[in-house]
A and B are shown apart, each in its own frame.
Chain A
Amino acid sequence: MKRLIQCIAFAALSLPFGVVAAKPIAFAHGTTVMAEYGAGTMEELQVFYAPRYFYSVGGGHLALDSDIDGRSRDITYARFNYLVKRWNREDSQANIFAWGGIGRARLSESADDETAWNAGVQMDYETRRVYSSLKTDLYEGSSFSNRVDTLQLGFAPYEHDYDSIATWLVVQGRRITGGIHDGTEVAFMLRLFKGPVWVEAGATTDGKLQAMAMFNF
Chain B
Amino acid sequence: MYKSAIWTCALLLAATAADAGTIEMKVNGLVCAFCAQGIEKAFRKNPAVADVVVSLENKLVAVQTKDGADISDQELQATLTNAGYDTKSIERTDTPVATIRENLKSPPK
Contact = CB atoms under 8 A, between A and B. Distances in A.
Contacts of B82: 27-28, 52-53
A194 B37 contact: no
B30 to A, nearest CB: 8
Contacts of B37: 26-27, 30, 195-196, 216
Contacts of B96: none
B33 A90 contact: no
Q: Is the interface of A mostly helix, strand, loop or mixed?
A: loop
How many A residues are at the interface, by size bracket?
35 or more
Nearest to A215: B34
Interface string A41-59: 0000000000011000000
Nearest to A160: B33
Nearest to A196: B37
Give the one of B29, B55, B83, B85 with max A CB within 10 A. Answer: B29
Interface string A73-91: 0000000000100111111
Contacts of B35: 21, 23, 26-27, 93
A168 to B, nearest CB: 10
B92 interface: no
B31 A53 contact: no
Contacts of A89: 28-29
Contacts of B42: 27-29
A58 B52 CA distance: 30
B31 A93 contact: yes
A11 to B, nearest CB: 15
A100 to B, nearest CB: 21
B84 interface: yes
Contacts of A23: 35
B44 interface: no
Contacts of B51: none
Give the one of B28, B32, B55, B57 with max A CB within 10 A. Answer: B32
A61 B42 CA distance: 30
A163 B41 CA distance: 14
Interface in A116-137: 126-128
B41 A27 contact: yes
A194 B106 CA distance: 20
A108 interface: no
Nearest to B54: A162
A25 B28 CA distance: 18
Nearest to A94: B29
A128 B34 contact: no
Contacts of B59: 90
Nearest to B58: A161
A126 B31 contact: yes
A37 interface: no
8 contacts: A27-B38, A28-B82, A28-B83, A29-B42, A53-B38, A93-B31, A161-B57, A216-B34
Interface of A: 21, 23, 25-30, 52-53, 83, 86-93, 126-128, 159-164, 166, 193-196, 198, 216
